[in-house]
Amino acid sequence: MIGGAFDWTELFFSSAGRLARGPFLILAALLIGLTALFEAVVFGPWHWLLGVFFYPLVFFVAACVLSKRLHDRGRSGWWAGLVLLAAVAVWPRPEGFFDFVFGLVLVWAAIELGVLVGEQGANRFGPNPAQGKAFTAHSSLGG
């Protein structure tokens, strides 16, 4: 937070800092819902034309949000790449052995990021967001 307000740009477009479980679950549901809505509403050539812009943006935002949540759990944000690869691999429906393996990765991610609490106190990625500094990559300047 900066001056009591959320820094939305930092939330969606920066992988630095930590993100508590509650806001992560809301943002994950929002991203999944937005993607499902796009798939349900946009058809034909518009799907491809708009998808060229939509999917990279959603993928980048998802990587940033996942990285922050992984940081809260004390893990490197690079694990977000594996989670996103697994999500892309099983979309729209899993088929075969490798999709089963990627499905296990998604189950691990759901438990790790959606069920387990973050590390108590500050860690190498910043202060605990559950203690009033949600969505921040670092403490605000000027006191």
Instruction: Give tens-digit pLDDT for 104-129.
Output: 999 999 999 999 999 999 999 999 99
Whether the model pTM is above 0.85? no
Domain boundaries, the chain: 18-117
Q: What is the 3-state secondary structure (H, E, C) of the chain?
A: CECCECCHHHHHHCCCCCCCHHHHHHHHHHHHHHHHHHHHHCCHHHHHHHHHHHHHHHHHHHHHHHHHHHHHCCCCCCHHHHHHHHHHHHCCCCCHHHHHHHHHHHHHHHHHHHCCCCCCCCECCECCHHHCCCCCCCCCCCC
